[in-house]
């Protein structure tokens, strides 16, 4: 399929061929769901921790005598039914991450790229970089595509350190490399700006299957 290529000033300069296997497939909502769920699980820190009755720092003395009070027998004040006692089945530190099948992840990312083309959210820009890492230069480009205060994603052709530096002070902008895409950012991005060189790389990287 053909897609327009724009300059950094927002002017149409030429067209580029995008692979149908990457930007024109049938959208798989199931794969997208699993990819985003996997990313969210892998980001979880898993440090929540509660104390059981064996770990609570409390008195070991018997609160009252065994018989004659009319109350249930109790051995100490660390019981979970007491104020300040332990927690029953509370959370403990754990690893929430898990691996997703490679084919499912690839299908999800290709589905999201295809969805962005269908919705008109994807825009191809000529290759550019930030020579000095200044945020104001990148903001000028963002204004040319009317992305101010809109969740925007830039897909780079390689890991450009200076471009990342220029983008880190823009709260609504997320910069991704073509081989390290995020399903969450592609789904929620209101505008996806992809460099021309990244399109070629994506055609090769995801176009095989």
Is residue 57 domain-resident?
A: no
SS (H, E, C) the chain: CEEEEECCCCCEEEEEECCHHHHCCCCCHHHHHHHHHHHHHHHCCCCCCCCCCCCCCCCCCCCCCCCCCCCCCCCCCCCCCCCCCCCCCCCCCCCCCCCCCHHHHHHHHHHHHHHHHHCCCEEEECCCCCCCCCHHHHHHHHHHCCCCCCCEEEEECCCCHHHHHHHCCCCCEEEEECCCCCHHHHHHCCEEEEEHHHHHHHHHHHCCC
pLDDT band at residue 207 under the 50/70/90 scheme:
low
Q: Which domain does 8 fall in, by range?
A: 2-27+100-206
pLDDT, residue 52, reads 93
Q: Residue 164 is part of a domain; what is its CATH number?
A: 3.40.1370.10
pLDDT tens digits, residue range 32-65? 999 999 999 999 999 999 999 999 998 888 888 9
Is residue 42 domain-resident?
A: no
Rounded CA separation 12/208 (Å): 29
Is residue 38 domain-resident?
A: no
Domain count, the chain: 1
pLDDT, residue 2, reads 86
Is residue 143 domain-resident?
A: yes
Is residue 195 domain-resident?
A: yes
Rounded CA separation 115/107 (Å): 12
For the ranges 9-13, 48-52, 91-95, 145-149, which has the lowest average pLDDT? 145-149
Closest CA to 77 of 65, 61, 54: 61
Is residue 83 domain-resident?
A: no
pLDDT band at residue 209 under the 50/70/90 scheme:
low
pLDDT, residue 200, reads 87
pLDDT, residue 183, reads 94
- Mean pLDDT for all residues in the chain: 90
pLDDT, residue 111, reads 94
pLDDT band at residue 208 under the 50/70/90 scheme:
low
Percentage of the chain exceeding pLDDT 70? 99
Report which listed range, 47-56, 161-170, 199-208, is most confident.
47-56
Rounded CA separation 97/105 (Å): 15
pLDDT tens digits, residue range 86-143? 999 999 999 999 999 999 999 999 999 999 999 989 999 998 888 888 888 888 888 8
Closest CA to 172 of 193, 158, 200: 193
């Amino acid at each position: 399929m053909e897609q327009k290529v724009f300059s950094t000033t927002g002017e149409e300069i030429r067209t580029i061929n995008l692979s149908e296997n990457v930007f024109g497939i049938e959208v798989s909502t199931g794969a997208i769901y699993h990819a985003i769920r996997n990313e969210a699980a892998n980001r979880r820190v898993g440090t929540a921790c509660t104390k059981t009755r064996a770990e609570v720092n409390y008195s070991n003395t018997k609160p009252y005598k065994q018989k004659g009070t009319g109350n249930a027998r109790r051995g100490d004040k660390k019981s979970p039914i007491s104020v300040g006692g332990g927690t029953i089945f509370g959370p403990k530190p754990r690893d929430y991450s898990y691996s997703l099948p490679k084919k499912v992840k690839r299908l999800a990312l290709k589905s999201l790229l295809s969805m962005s083309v269908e919705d008109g959210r994807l825009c191809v820009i000529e290759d550019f970089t930030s020579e000095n890492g200044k945020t104001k230069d990148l903001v000028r480009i963002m204004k040319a595509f009317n992305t101010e205060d809109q969740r925007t994603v830039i897909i780079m052709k390689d890991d450009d350190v200076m471009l990342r530096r220029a983008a880190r002070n823009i709260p609504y902008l997320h910069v991704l490399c073509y081989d390290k895409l995020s399903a969450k950012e592609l789904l929620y991005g209101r505008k996806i700006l992809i460099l021309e060189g990244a399109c070629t790389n994506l055609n090769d990287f995801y176009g095989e299957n």
